[in-house]
Amino acid sequence: MNSTRRNVGLLAACQALLLTNSATLIAINGLAGLALAPAQALATLPVTCWVVGGALATMPASLHMKRVGRQRGLSMGTLWGVVGALICAGAVWQQSFWLLCFGTLVFGVYTRTGSTTASPPRMWRAPTSRARRSRWCSPGAWWAASSARPPAA
């Protein structure tokens, strides 16, 4: 197996896990937000904070990955994810809605750094092989979307 096929396979698997993570975060944070929110109208604010965190991190993540390389940039993104998850876990443990919002904002940075749109690798820029390589990532996205199930009532 040549390295390009292996790299594309790894990228597809990682994208599938990232998308599954995102779908799970949306489902769980809606429920946690409903349980912790001071008013029912604020129940989805943690999910909104997650989106805002990703939006705020787009340019800094891209510039960081350009400066230090994609591998180190993704590693730093994983650190953001661990910190965000710990903050969210602490928020649920302390029953703090606003801390949950902050934790999902931090977790949004992780989601953005894991996205291929933050700083696409050079192999995706080659016009002759772009279509062939991107089709290998689609099954990963489909798997992630189909494996995310809403929690049982």
Per residue, what are the HEC states of the chain? Answer: CCHHHHHHHHHHHHHHHHHHHHHHHHHHHHHHHHHHCCCHHHCCHHHHHHHHHHHHHHHHHHHHHHHHCHHHHHHHHHHHHHHHHHHHHHHHHHCCHHHHHHHHHHHHHHHHHHCCCCCCCHHHCCCCCHHHHHHHHHHHHHHHHHHCCCCCC
pLDDT the model gives residue 42: 92
% pLDDT > 90, the chain: 28
Q: Are 47 and 26 in contact (CB under 8 A)?
A: yes
What ranges do the domains of the chain cover?
7-116+128-147
pLDDT, tens digit, for every residue of 104-131? 999 999 888 877 554 455 544 555 555 5
What is the pLDDT confidence band of residue 88, given thresholds at 50, 70 and 90? Answer: very high
Is residue 133's pLDDT more than 60?
Answer: no
CA end-to-end distance (rounded Å), the chain: 45
